[in-house]
Structure 1
Amino acid sequence: MSKVSRDGSNTLLMISSLYNSLTRTEQKIAEIIKLDPEKIVYGTLTDLAEMAGVGDTSVLRLCRKLGFRGYQEFKLKLAQELVHPIHNVHGEIDENDDMSTMAEKITTENMLFLQNTLALLDMRELQLAVEAILHANKLIFVGVGSSANTAADAKYRFMRLGFDSLLVTDSHVMAMTLALAKKDDVVFAVSTSGSTKDLVDAVRIAKENGVFFICLTSQAKSPLTQYADAVLLSSSKESPLQGGAFRSKITQIHVLDILTTIIAVQSKERTMSAIERTSKAVSDKLY
């Protein structure tokens, strides 16, 4: 994707999602914007450039990387969002917190990340994913490590909805499977970082076959999203020492819940029949 689309997503959250892929100069501008967005709304392009100690063209470059045609369009969107500001995570766990306080803090933070995921989710990208899945011959879900568990959840849910679904988590099998993927198949990858080499290499092969590729990730710009036909973003905050954090999984499942619900509604006859048949198939296995 050459730039980020802007329909329905939140500018400040998008900056955070893109941050690691920005140049040092662009990161300096991004820090100034996040520090005092209200001041930016009332200033000029030159004001922002001077505050960040960069040139005007660098500010314009960042605006375009965010999907805006220019600085004024960026300011207008930012001003609209400040009327309904995003929620910032607060209340880090302290070793002196009792169990009740820990439970309350974790619940609050998870709720905020879900709200931020909704703010990040681009409706145009979501619609592209919905249309591709509805017309797919086969859905191939891929993921490694912790993301493989989320991919498995997705495969299970779409199977229950009546879609021909396949899950691949072994890197060698993944490469071979995607090498055989056909043009009317859809590949759906889950990767919080978007930088897992095994996934990137396999998806590159699949794209040579003309498949439609959907990526569920927390990084708007990453090696994996460069091949994506639709990018579904989830809000995440985890350090390299927190790989597979539950918070990342919760927001990914939330996006999948939105996606599968929309598909179930738009293809009601097909999905209701499949749900009934799969439910009956296991009904005698429950007490």
Structure 2
Amino acid sequence: MRNNKEVNAVQATKTADYCLAIIRGRYPSLAPAEQKAAFFILEHPESAAEMTSVQLAAAAGVSESTVVKCCQRLGFTGFSQLKLALVRELATSREGAFGEVEPGDDVPTICDKIFTATLQAVEDTAKVLDPCEVALAAEAIFKARRIFFFGVGSSAVVAQDAQLKFMRIGMTAHSYLDTHAQLTQAALLAPDDAAVVITYSGRTREATDVIELARECGA
């Protein structure tokens, strides 16, 4: 198992190499004002790479302190480090616009945006995924006596789908739609159980509560 310095070094490298992927992945967890700054960077990466923090703040309609906080929330020390990472990434690849489906879009445009966003999500995941962490998670799941999948809202549907897929390969898997049932089960986990929590933003209160309970139980 790697120590904290090694983990931090890997995370810092990924943050520097895949700036736009990091922004897209952490965008939902940002505060509304911070999202404005992040959205501008995603929509206009070339322009953002040539701006100062003051200019970016003005263009995004936020304060300079918000820009700095946004950068720090994304894992950078400040705007200068984010800007450097952005320049490096743009030098090696040109990313498409962070386009949202608009009311006036025609059908071909909507299809193109959806397909592009889906492909981009897969590429972003491949960029930031740590194979060592995946291997550790796979080993924990394989050795577990029972596997519990947790999720709230639409993530609960994903959890149920995962449960069915694991049951098909002969593993003991469970999931619950009811949030209270999830919290109760999380509090009853054993050290030889595996808990898989599915959350899009990483900030859903019920999901974080499940994670804390699972950790306390040693799962």
Fold match, TM over 0.5?
Answer: yes
State whether residues 49 and 86 of structure 2, in contact with CA within 8 Å, keep that contact through their aligned partners in structure 1: yes
Summarize the Cα distance change of 1:112–1:169 in structure 2 as closer, same or farther, 3 Å threshold.
same
Instruction: Tell me which of 123, 126, 129 is aligned to 2:129.
Output: 123
Partner of 2:115: 111
The percentage of aligned residue pairs carrying the same residue is 28
Partner of 2:95: 85
Q: CA RMSD in A?
A: 3.7
Q: Do 2:149 and 2:196's aligned partners in 1 also have CA atoms closer than 8 Å?
A: yes
Q: 2:139 aligns with which of 114, 134, 140?
A: 134
Which structure 2 segments of 5+ residues have no match?
A: 1-7
In structure 2, relative to structure 1, the CA distance for the partners of 1:92 and 1:41 (3 Å cut) is closer
Does residue 1:180 correspond to 2:188, yes or no? yes
Distance 1:35 1:116 in 2: 14
User: Any idea what SS the aligned residue of 1:110 has?
Assistant: helix
2:215 paired residue among 189, 194, 207 = 207
Q: 1:159 to 1:86 in 2, by over 3 A?
A: farther
**Per-residue Cα deviation, 1:41-90 (whole angstroms, up to 9, x for no partner):** 234455545656644x6544432321124444322321243322135446
Q: Which of 163, 172, 184 is matched with 1:164 structurally?
A: 172
- Alignment partner of 1:149 is 2:149: no
Q: Residues 158-202 of structure 1, C-alpha deviation per residue, up to 9 Å, x if partnerless?
A: 333454322222333322211111234321123345555444433
Uncovered stretches (5+) of structure 1, i.e. residues with no partner: 212-287
Q: Which amino acid aligns with 2:47?
A: K
TM-score (norm 1): 0.54
Q: Deviations over 1:120-167 (max 9, x none)?
A: 32212x642441232331321122443322112212223334543222
- Alignment-derived partner of residue 227 in structure 1: none
Give me the whole-angstrom Cα distance separating, in 2, the residues matched to 1:18 and 1:141.
Answer: 22
Normalising by structure 2, we get a TM-score of: 0.67
SS of the aligned residue for 2:174 comes to: strand
CA distance in 2, matches of 1:67, 1:132: 23
Whole-angstrom distance in 2 between the partners of 1:42 and 1:127: 36
How many pairs align?
Answer: 200
